[in-house]
Every structure is written in C-alpha cells, then in structure tokens.
C-alpha cells in the first residue's frame, strides 16, 4: 500500500508520498517505513492560547527537519493571511520533509492551499470534511450525499495540483461504517494517496481503533497509505496510534509534546519511542527520526508556544529519568537498566538523575556527596544521613547547598558562601580593545573590577577573576545553543583548574557574554567550595574512625 511520484516538469510541484520520502532518505524498505507526519504547526497550534508568528513557525520547522520528520503540516492557508504566509515561508525554505497544507473541500480553498505550497521541493495537500452524523447535521448542515460530492470535488481538485493528496473524514470514529467506507472509496477513486483516519474527539479505544484500520484496509481497495490522527481526550492518543500501526497504518499524525486542540494530539516522542523500544511488537516498522533531537525539539516547542512540559511527561519530561525512591536509586546506581527502559542519551536527555528526597536511601545520599567531592564515612555519615532524612520530611527538594550544610555541621566545617553577579557591563566592536566591568558580591560585600580582553567574553571572565582572585586557570570552554534562531539561549560551560582541583560551571542566557560570565562565576564558586573542603578532609577522615 504505497504510491509514489516525482517532481514533474510542467511547473507543478508533485510530492513523493511516504514511499519516495523513505527511498530518498535511505530509510530502507518502503513497506517498513512508518511515515511521521508532524502537525505541531497546524493542529498543535490550534491549542488554546498558542499563537506562533511566522518566524517562530519557521524556527520550529527547521528543528523538525533536523529531527527527521517525513512531513510537516505547516498550517491551514485559507484560515488567515498569517497562516498562508507561514506555510509559504516554510515551503520556500525547508528542505528534506514534504510540506503539507490543510484544506477544506471547496475548490477555492484547495487552490489557495496549493498557492501557499507551490514553491516547496515536495508538497502535499490534505483535504478534509466531516462525516459523522453530529458534524454533518449540526456543523456542516449537509446531507451525506452532499458530503460525498464535496469529497469528490475536493480530492479531484487537489490531484489537479499535486500527486500527493491526503484525505481525512473528520470525526471518523463516530461515523457509520458504511458511510465511512463509501467516502474513503470515493476519495481513493479521485486519487487520494493517503487516507487519514481522524479520531477527532479522542473517542477511540485501542483495539476498536485497530479493528477500524484493519477493516478499512480490507474494504477499501487501492494504492494508498493508511494513517492515524488520534486526539487525547481519554488519554489514549498514543495507545490508539500504535494500535493503528499494529493494524497496518504506515503514517501517524503527531505533535511534539502532544499539544493540540483540548487534551491534545498523540505525542510524536511517545509514538516514535514506543515503536523503537518495542521493536519486538513492531518488527517490520522503522521511523527515520533522529531520536537524539527529541528533547531539544520538545524544549523549543515548549519555549515558543509557552506550553510547559509536564514534569512526568513520557520521554521528554524533566522527571522521565529521575529517581527518588531508595530502592530505585540503589538499582539505577548499580545499572540504569534496572529502572530505565530508554537510554536517556538516545532521546537527548540526561540519564539516571538521582533526586534526593524523603524516599531516598543511603546509597543515593552517599553517591550525591561523593559527586560533590565530599568523602565522609562512619559516624559522620550515619549522623548526616539521619539529619538529611529529617530535613527531607520537611522540604520537597534537597539542594547541594542543603547537603553541604548538613555535612559541614557534622564535621565542624564552615559553609562557604558563593559569589553573586551583581552587574556586568561590556563594550567592544571593531575599534579599540574589548572591556568589561563587573560587580560581584559575597556575604554582603561588593567588589568591582575591570579588565580588557581578547574579545568581550575574555574581558568579562578576566574581570571576574580580578574581582575574586582565585588564581584559577581556564581549562575548558564550550558554548552551544540550547535552541536555534538568533535569540537562541546560549549554554556555556567553563572549566577552571587550580592547585590540582578541576571544576566546571554552567551559565545560560540569550546573551552569550552574560552566559559566559555566569558560567565563570559558577565555576569560581565550586572552586572556592572544593578548596575549603579539601582543607577539611583531615577532619572527615578522622571522623571515619567511629564504630
Ligand atoms: O482532528 C481532526 O479531525 C483534524 C482533521 C482536520 C484531520 O485535525
Ligand atoms: Zn486533529
């Protein structure tokens, strides 16, 4: 069940559907390729309160291309000039994925959709109309016969423009089976190359939805790919999508972070990882997704849409690889596979994060101290662990500073206060040496310092060094962009070395000079603490002589 096409020579854009997408991108046997149709920019953007401007949509589209999706549904061109412009801009500048636009069945809508798409390397028109009794009667105010005529005209018109045409009977899961099959047969006979089955109101139940896909495949002959489009009203969007795949669907329509109308759409990251991790259940199915880009894509979409990702969200949530219970922590400290089915690095996340809280045990407590460079034993550790448990009963999150304070009290060590960046001013350009002025404070005392440097970052770091006098040497510097685009967050890591101690600090800001200054100061604070601890190692070891 595949179809293919090429760019034709008469000026129209014709897009290969999944088979050619799979073949062009070296994704292996087309029979086994699961087409990832991302609709974050269309259905995802329909979520209440989300409104992306064309520049933001373009930034997300670039990241989706990096992620390796096969299709980007970029918008609904007839709905507004803004949507038209965004679809057009994406069609003109994104290469790799096929660019798709949504259209109602009216001929003028289809033409407008094509206008927005026509400059794409490869394009698809996605034509839809409602087919359930509820929608036909109360929304469309059309009879089933009228709807059938619309399917005919809409799909036929789209095929005049492109060879890649998708058809969706909206609210398919509440449509009578006979009518649904009739409509789908009509769409195929007019040249639809993908039949998408929307569970528009999230009414489907996995086995039932799977049977629906099986039945359609049996009773609608033709050369098309069958697709799922599942909403999450009952929290079953991912389950329904993979039930569809199990029944033979070879396209899934999904959104990053599962955003979308009401409770959202099936989450791309969940469906892709379900198919990847449970290859035993889907032996013939592969996606072309670069899974290492999942977390980054999720962060970008969350930042630009303003929709936070729930902490416990599968795959991309901040707790997806965090462990608090003592038994779990003990397990993952021995081998992460005890409580993690996904290797966090494969989805761009940091793995096996040990979160100290009231459920944590000694193993995790000692491990956290050791990571901070505190090696305590015997009575010190017993006492400190008891104090930690007391504190954890009263406080949700235990920070490094809390741990340090607990152990410091047990061994009579002073807690070292860190420096705070009060202000940073830099100047530079093509004339004259770059200069920086910083004010840092510690324990209520401020200190100002200025410096020149070989660039503004160098000047800022030198000024901080002048203000803190650690005598440290720079041992490493790296900068990466947390997101794409000109206003991307710069993520800087700086390593410092002094007296055989090596520490690192991290800073994040939209201004890379400020991110560097913050990273430098974070490293200085670690260094100061580490030096203070090493002078107390003696007392820690002495305390080790207890029973
Ligand atoms: O949920 C839905 O039915 C849709 C269609 C337009 C495919 O988003
Ligand atoms: Zn939808």
Q: How many angstroms separate the alpha carbon of residue 539 from the centre of ligand 2?
A: 64
The minimum-distance atom of ligand 1 relative to the CA of 42 is 8
544, pLDDT greater than 50: no
CB atoms within 10 A of CB 182: 18
Domain 19-305 has CATH 3.40.50.1000: no
pLDDT band at residue 541, thresholds of 50, 70 and 90?
A: very low
Read off the DSSP letter of residue 32.
G
Q: What is the pLDDT of residues 454-512, one digit of tens each?
A: 999 999 999 999 999 999 999 888 887 655 556 666 778 888 888 888 777 777 777 88
Q: Could you tell me the CA-to-CA distances from 243 to 238, 283, 515 in Å, in that order?
A: 9, 14, 46
Residue 485 alpha carbon to ligand 2 centre in Å:
28
Cα 200 to ligand 1 centre (Å): 6
334/180 Cα distance (integer angstroms)? 54
Which ligand has the nearest atom to the CA of 167?
1
Task: Tell me what the pLDDT averaged over the chain comes to.
Answer: 86
Measured CA distances, 440 to 72, 148, 423, 463 (Å): 48, 72, 7, 10
Is 3.30.160.270 the CATH number for 420-534?
A: yes
Ligand 1 geometric centre to CA of 95 (Å): 25
Residue 200 CA to ligand 2 center (angstroms) comes to: 5
What average pLDDT score do residues 433-450 get?
92
Contacts of 421 (CB under 8 A, 6+ apart): 438, 439, 440, 464, 517, 518, 521
The domain locations on the chain are 19-305, 322-411, 420-534
Alpha helices in 399-455 (DSSP H): 400-411
**CA 301 – ligand 2 centroid, Å:** 18
Q: How far apart are CA 469 and CA 496, in angstroms?
A: 13
φ and ψ at 183, to 5 degrees?
-65, -45
Q: What ligand is nearest to the CA atom of residue 76? A: 1
Q: Say yes or no to pLDDT of 195 above 60.
A: yes
Q: Ligand 1: which of 100, 170, 231, 266 to mutate, most ligand atoms within 8 Å of CB?
A: 170
Pocket-testing residue among 124, 168, 199, ligand 1, by greatest number of atoms within 8 A of Cβ: 168
Ligand 1 atom nearest to CA at 130: 3
Kindly give the residue spans of alpha helices, DSSP state H, lying in 278-377: 294-305, 326-334, 362-371
- Confidence (pLDDT) at 322: 85
The span from the CA of 297 to the CA of 268, in Å, is 10
Ligand 1 atom at shortest distance from the alpha carbon of 172 = 3
When mean pLDDT is compared over 169-183, 432-446, 462-476, the highest value belongs to: 169-183
- CATH code for the part of the protein at 322-411: 1.10.238
Ligand 1 pocket test, pick from 37, 102, 202 with the greatest ligand atom count within 8 Å of Cβ, gives: 102
Residues with CB under 6 A from ligand 1: 43, 102, 128, 168, 170, 198, 200, 229, 231
pTM here is 0.71
Q: What digits encode the pLDDT tens for the residues 50-103?
A: 989 999 999 999 999 999 999 999 999 999 999 999 999 999 999 999 999 999
- Placement of tokens 């901070």 in the chain: 372
Q: How confident is the model at residue 395 (pLDDT cuts 50, 70, 90)?
A: confident
pLDDT value of position 535: 58
Beta-carbon count within 10 A of 23 CB: 16
């Amino acid at each position: 069940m595949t179809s293919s096409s090429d760019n034709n020579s008469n000026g129209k854009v014709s897009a290969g559907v999944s088979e050619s997408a799979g073949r062009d991108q070296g994704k292996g046997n087309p029979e086994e390729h699961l087409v990832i149709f991302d609709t974050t920019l269309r259905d995802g953007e329909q979520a209440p309160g989300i409104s992306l401007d064309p520049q933001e949509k373009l930034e997300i589209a670039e990241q989706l291309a990096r992620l390796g999706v096969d299709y980007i549904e970029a918008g609904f061109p007839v709905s507004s000039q803004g949507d038209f412009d965004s679809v057009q801009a994406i069609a003109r500048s994104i290469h790799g994925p096929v660019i798709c636009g949504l259209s109602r069945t009216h001929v003028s809508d289809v033409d407008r959709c094509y206008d927005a798409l026509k400059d794409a390397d490869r394009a698809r028109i996605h034509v839809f109309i409602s087919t359930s009794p509820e929608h036909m009667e109360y929304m469309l105010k059309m009879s089933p016969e009228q709807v059938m005529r619309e399917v005919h005209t809409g799909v036929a018109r789209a095929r005049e423009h492109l060879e890649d045409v998708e058809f969706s009977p909206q609210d398919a899961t509440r449509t009578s089976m006979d009518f649904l099959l009739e409509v789908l047969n009509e769409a195929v006979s007019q040249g639809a190359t993908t039949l998408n089955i929307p569970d528009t109101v999230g009414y489907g139940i996995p086995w039932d939805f799977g049977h629906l896909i099986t039945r359609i495949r049996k009773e609608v002959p033709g050369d098309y790919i069958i697709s799922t489009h599942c909403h999450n009203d009952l929290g079953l969007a991912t389950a329904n999508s993979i039930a569809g795949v199990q029944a033979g669907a070879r396209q899934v329509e999904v959104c990053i972070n599962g955003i979308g109308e009401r409770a959202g759409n099936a989450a791309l990251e969940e469906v892709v990882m379900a198919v990847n991790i449970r290859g035993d259940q889907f032996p013939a199915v592969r996606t072309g997704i670069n899974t290492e880009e999942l977390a980054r894509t999720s962060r970008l979409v969350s930042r630009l849409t303003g929709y936070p990702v729930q902490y416990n969200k599968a795959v991309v949530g901040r707790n997806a690889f965090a462990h608090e219970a003592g038994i779990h922590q003990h397990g993952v400290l021995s081998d992460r596979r005890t409580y993690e089915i996904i290797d966090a690095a494969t989805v761009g996340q940091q793995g096996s994060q040990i979160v100290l809280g009231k459920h944590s045990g000694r193993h995790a407590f000692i491990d956290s101290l050791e990571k901070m460079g505190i090696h305590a034993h015997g009575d010190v550790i017993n006492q400190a662990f008891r104090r930690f448990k007391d504190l954890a009963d009263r406080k949700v999150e235990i920070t490094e500073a809390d741990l340090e304070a607990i152990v410091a009290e047990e061994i009579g060590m002073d807690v070292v206060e860190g420096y705070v960046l009060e202000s940073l001013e830099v100047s530079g350009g093509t004339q004259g040496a770059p200069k920086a002025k910083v004010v840092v404070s510690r324990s209520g005392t401020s200190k100002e310092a200025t410096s020149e440097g070989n660039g503004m970052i160098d000047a800022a770091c030198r000024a901080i060094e002048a203000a803190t006098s650690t005598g440290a040497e720079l041992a490493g510097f790296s900068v990466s962009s947390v997101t794409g685009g000109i206003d991307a967050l710069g993520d800087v890591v700086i390593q410092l070395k002094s007296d055989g101690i090596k520490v690192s600090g991290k800073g994040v800001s939209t201004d890379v000079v400020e991110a560097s200054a913050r990273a430098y100061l974070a490293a200085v604070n670690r260094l100061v603490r580490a030096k203070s601890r090493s002078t107390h190692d003696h007392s820690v070891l002495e305390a080790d002589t207890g029973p």
